Amino acid sequence: MQGMSERQYAAHVGLSRGAIQKAKTAERLVLFADGSINAAASDVRRAETTDPSKTRKPHEPKLKPVPEAAVAAVGDTLREQGLAVPAVGGGTTYLQAKTANEVLKAQERRIRLQKLKGELIERARALSLVFRLAREVRDAWVNWPARSSALMAAELGVEPAAMQKALEKHVRAHLDELAEVRPDFR
């Protein structure tokens, strides 16, 4: 056999064997005397006789750009789980993104289950509880000097009013320091 078989030529040009048989019947291929296909001459003849508007373009999938925030979230999730994170600008592989997605889904299910069990509360409720607790603690400290100053004054042998005034001054100063602390609930 001098040239290529129909199958070989089909693989060579990226078409089906049926398409090659049709081109052969339409005499758009150059054949050797033994019936095999002359690849180089057939390529030239096919290019000359084929209507470019009817040729198939190689299918290239249209890839949507992935937002940087999504890529960063994938990296954060992989990092939290102790998995390898791609270098900046190195791109995220499909496997890494799929792994991160599965980890996120598992975390979401765990959180949903913890809410159902009552192990988690909503942020607004937590803030309300912390605020109420802080107010109760502050009120207890503000009232403490009035309750304790008479007993302390008797033990130390000093004037109860002076003791209460000194205690209130120091407690208020300490509470002012504590008021500057702002908890971060992010």
pLDDT in tens, 80-136: 777 776 665 556 677 777 777 788 888 889 888 988 898 888 888 888 988 899 899
- Tell me: pLDDT of 79 over 90: no
**b or e along 11-38 (b: 16 or more beta carbons within 10 Å of the residue's beta carbon)?**
eebebeeeebeebbeeebbbeeeeebbb
* pTM, full prediction: 0.39
